[in-house]
């Protein structure tokens, strides 16, 4: 007979959820969860908008569900018992130098170093949800943070 108190090896993992407790500088912030909550160095979190976007059915206008909007991703670099210091970590590359001429970029970009940008979707503007407002895009105390379980 098996003991029901054993941890099941396939038990789904629930991501940690917290809030921004303080913004330290343009790359670092503090979240209100730490060692006590199971946070470890290297864990990644996404900072979310205050309210998720409602997704409507295009035919019936019924609410299909909600989707969280992401402001920025951060990685834990320091942990205390009840808080964690996180830092931005993503980088983007845009071609510079002689490669810029191939892509018909302006003269200034020919002398710029290479930088990386993400691939974007081609869609009508009306297909996109309303953009995050300038005011809402700022990371601030009280913003929700959600652990990223499988970043690819």
- The parent domain of residue 84 ranges over 17-90+132-148
Spatial distance between the Cα atoms of 147 and 107, rounded to a whole number of angstroms: 42
Q: Which of 148, 139, 138, 132 is nearest to 19 (CA)?
A: 139
The answer to whether residue 24 is domain-embedded is yes
Domains of the chain: total:
1
Identify the pLDDT of residue 68: 92
Identify the pLDDT of residue 26: 87
Identify the pLDDT of residue 135: 79
Kindly compute the dihedral angle of the four CA atoms of residues 136, 137, 141, 143, in this order, to the nearest 10 degrees: 80
Q: Which of 132, 148, 139 is nearest to 25 (CA)?
A: 139
The answer to whether residue 28 is domain-embedded is yes
Asked if 82 contacts 31 with a C-beta cutoff of 8 angstroms, the reply is no
The answer to whether residue 95 is domain-embedded is no
Identify the pLDDT of residue 89: 87
Provide CB contacts within 8 A for 86, sequence distance 6+.
28, 29, 30, 31, 45, 74, 75, 76, 77, 145
The answer to whether residue 47 is domain-embedded is yes
Residue identified by tokens 């996109």 is 128
The answer to whether residue 96 is domain-embedded is no
| pTM for the model | 0.67
Identify the pLDDT of residue 82: 98
Asked if 75 contacts 43 with a C-beta cutoff of 8 angstroms, the reply is yes
The answer to whether residue 114 is domain-embedded is no
**Structure tokens that stand for 121 in this block:** 């979707």
The answer to whether residue 102 is domain-embedded is no
The answer to whether residue 101 is domain-embedded is no
CATH of the domain at 76: 2.40.10.410
Return per-residue pLDDT of the chain as tens, 152 residues: 333 334 445 545 899 999 999 999 888 999 999 999 999 999 999 999 888 889 999 899 999 999 999 999 999 999 999 999 999 988 766 656 555 445 555 555 556 666 665 555 455 666 566 777 787 888 889 898 999 988 76
């Amino acid at each position: 007979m098996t003991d029901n108190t054993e941890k099941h090896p396939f038990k789904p993992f629930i991501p940690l959820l917290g809030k921004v407790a303080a913004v330290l500088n343009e790359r670092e912030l503090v979240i209100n969860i730490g060692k006590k909550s199971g946070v470890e160095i290297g864990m990644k979190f996404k900072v979310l908008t205050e309210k998720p976007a409602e997704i409507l059915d295009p035919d019936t206008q019924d609410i299909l569900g909600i989707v969280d909007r992401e402001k920025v991703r951060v990685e834990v670099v320091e942990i205390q018992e009840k808080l964690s210091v996180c830092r931005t970590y993503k980088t983007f590359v845009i071609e510079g130098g002689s490669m810029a001429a191939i892509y018909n970029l302006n003269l200034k970009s020919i002398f710029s170093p290479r930088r990386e940008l993400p691939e974007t979707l081609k869609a009508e503007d009306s297909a996109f949800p309303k953009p995050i407002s300038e005011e809402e895009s700022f990371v601030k105390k009280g913003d929700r943070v959600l652990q990223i379980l499988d970043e690819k």
